[in-house]
Amino acid sequence: MHDEQNPVKGYLPADPIADEIDFENLSSDRRLNKLLKSVLGEVKLYAENQIKHIKQLTQIGLALSSEKDISKLLENIVDQARDLSNADAGTLYIMEDDKECLRFEILQNDSMNTRMGGTRTIEQTLPKVPLYDQAGQPNHANVSSYTALTGNIVNIPDVYEAEGFDFTGPREYDASTGYRSKSMLVIPLKNHENDIIGVLQLLNAQDRDTGEVVAFSPEYVDLIGSLASQAAVALTNTQLIQDLRNLFHAFIRSIATAIDAKSPYTKGHIDRVVELTMMIAEAINTESEGAFKDTAFNEDEIEEMRIAAWMHDVGKITTPENVVNKSTKAETIFDRIHLIATRFDLIAEQVKIRFLNQKVQLFNNGGRPDNQALNRIDEKCTEKLTQLRDDLAFIENCNSPGEFLEDDSIDRIRQIGARTYFRNGEEQPYLTADEIENLCIRKGSLTTAERDRIQDHATMTLKMLRQLPFPKKLSNVAEYASGHHEKLDGTGYPRGLSGEELSLQSKIMAVADIFEALTAKDRPYKKPMQLSQAIKILGFMVEDKHIDAEVLDIFLRNELHLEYARIQMNPEQIDL
């Protein structure tokens, strides 16, 4: 509160002498005293206005610098500029990257009740403003392009009386709407490198007391110029942040592309895990009752989870392709079942040669051998060749990872592998030790060592992501991404965390990852699983305390499994 008896008190530094002055009687001359009081009153009013503008600009600067959403920021720039100048309308153009034209972003007009662009759903139809004509000459006819090209501020009291610019557009707009465009202020937005990044155009300044349309005063030109500078810096910073975010997302996509090059189905897996993770997170955000009624992920937490889902298998970059893509048990760089088949063909030829030699020996012993002896040799040869064919068919069947291998089958594989034949004068087994180990895999296509190598991708994911300097709002990406193979009972990997130690985000990703893996239709090593069977397995995993019951409940209760199935699964898989 300011002392009404002392017009300048509160605006000047404390001064004991000034405090003793009688501002009611500054002079013994009444007329002079009145004049002095009038001057002091004007000083007070001017000081108040200046302080108000300084505070307003400070608040605007804080508001602009704190806004990270570009659409909201652009709207805010026009709102604040119009508020400062009491302008009825405002338009904001942004320079295109090629610097060939201005792109419309925001249009506001209070009299016409119009707000377009920014966060508004109403799409604008205004054309871009070219900065050069067809001959390549600068377009100085349009006032906004002129300002963008020259950096000059244009202040026009009445566009209908102005010369040097083409105002056909405003005149046509006025004719079609009944509006009257009059005063106009056009100011460039310059960034920290003095490059023009946009143009702010204000229309029809209004007298704050009468509402009459007036020219933009020089005072407002300076204020809006200051605002434009702040706005340009804020806009540049926000664009840089967005560019960095886009770069980061592009980096993530490049990693996914690298994984895709190693294994096409893994890239599809990543895409689908992201989709499922987001579906579950959004369902939790809509819960009004139950376990998650008080849980809500904000925008940053959703983004953090999305990035974690994108990067959850980044460690597979270090996993050998022959392990990632192993579609049969005998496969390494290629499916060795073909090598085994060729070996059995060689053995069969040796069998034939051996029995033919027996026949030759009978003839060499003199005389013609009886038919019974020859028939016995043929029978033994046929028996041996039949056994070879049966053994090869059995091995080929065991090579498929689709069926669980029983003890009897494992014993037979080892018996077949222990048999020998001769190659280059050396005795060789039918099957090598490594081939036997792979063919004896009970379930799936991976040996224990290969499965450990696959599981190591979660450890590598954690190591790799911990090396990245994530910003604070993404600080948990490494934990979430590497935790999708952890189990509630602590038997998961890579860190063996238990339910209490696991974040909700990791539990969500675990359900998403497992459900996608069970129902995927593009895995080379298994047939697509029926939806009902996948749900049954997830239920068993809840009972075994491997996955979270509440996360699975919201997944099923919101029928997300059906929504996902209609998009990603074969029609014949959907049996619910």
Provide the residue ranges of all domains of the chain, joining segments of one domain with +.
1-66, 70-241, 263-313+453-573, 337-445
As averages over each run of 10 residues, the pLDDT of the chain (576 residues) reads 49 50 62 71 62 58 60 80 88 89 90 84 72 92 94 93 88 90 92 86 91 88 78 77 83 77 70 94 92 92 94 82 70 82 92 88 75 85 93 91 85 93 91 90 80 80 90 92 93 91 95 94 78 95 95 95 94 90
Q: Amino acid identity of 513?
A: D
pTM, two decimals, is 0.63
pLDDT of residue 466: 92
Task: Please give the Cα distance from 335 to 396 (Å, whole number).
Answer: 11
pLDDT of residue 8: 47
CB burial of 19-45 (b: ≥16 within 10 Å; e: otherwise) equals eeeebeebeeeeeeeeebbeeeeeebe
Pair 88, 110: CB distance under 8 Å: yes
Pair 259, 317: CB distance under 8 Å: yes
pLDDT of residue 23: 55
Torsion of CA 437, 441, 446, 449, to 10 degrees: -50
pLDDT of residue 212: 93
* CATH level 3 topology of 263-313+453-573: Hypothetical protein af1432 (1.10.3210)
CB atoms within 10 A of CB 65: 14
Interacting residues of 561 by C-beta distance below 8 A, sequence separation 6+: 515, 531, 534, 535, 555, 576
Task: Kindly report the CATH number that applies to the domain delimited by 70-241.
Answer: 3.30.450.40
